[in-house]
Structure 1
C-alpha cells in the first residue's frame, strides 16, 4: 500500500457505446458511468437511456486528441469513499487500475485490499475484497498520439 498525498485526476471523461448504433455517448458523472458499467451485461446501454435516439448525431469519436481505454464490462461499482484510478503503462498497452482509500492509501491488488481491511476493520461491514476489480483497462492503440513517446520523455521526469 502506498500513501497518495497528491491524487491527480487521470480520467478525463466517461463514455459508453450504444449497442444498437455504436455511437459513443458521454456520461456526465462517474457514478452514472459505474452504474451502467456494473449492469451492462444484464441491461445493455442504448441511446434511449440518455433520452436520445440513434438518429441523433454522435457526440464523439475516438481519435488521438486523448488516449481512450476500455473498462471491464460488469466491473463492480467503486465502494463509497474510495476512488478508482489508473496509470498508463510505458508501452501504452493498458492502464493499470488501483484504488485510493479514504485514508489516502493506494491499493494495487486484492491482497492489499485484504491487508487494508485487516488494518481498518471499520470498513469490513460495508466493503469486501469482491468490491474491487484490478483488471487493467485496454488502450485503443489508434488513439495514442504519434508523438506520445517524445512528449513522455520531455514532460515526465524519471
Structure 2
C-alpha cells in the first residue's frame, strides 16, 4: 500500500525510482474498486489514467515533468473536463460531454496531474452532504450506514 504523508514525499519517491506513476494509479484504482459501495465515483477513467501515468513516468525520467507529476486527482461532477461527461449530479445533463476543461482542471492537466475519475456530488453542487445526487448519496467511509 502506498502511504505518503504529502505530495512532496510522493514526488521524492517518484524521482528516486521508489515507485512509479503507474503504480500509484494502480493503487488508487484498486482502492476505488474495493470501496465502490461508497458511491464516491460516477466514472473512473481506468485506461486513460494508466496511459497518462505511463506518459508522466516518461516525462519524469526525461526531467520534463510538470510540477504536479504523479498527483492523482478525482474531479467533482460540476467541473468540466474536455471530451468527458459532466452532469452536475443531475439527470438533466445526461449524455452531455464537455467541449472544454474548466480552468482548474486544465491547470492540473498542464502540470501532469493524473485525472482518475469523476466524483459524485449534490445536484448542481447545491449542498454539502452529498446526499442529494441523482446518482444516490455518497457514503461515509467510516460508517456506511
* TM-score after normalising by structure 2: 0.30
Larger Rg over CA atoms: 1
* Structure (1 or 2) with the greater strand fraction: 1
* Structure (1 or 2) with the greater helix fraction: 2
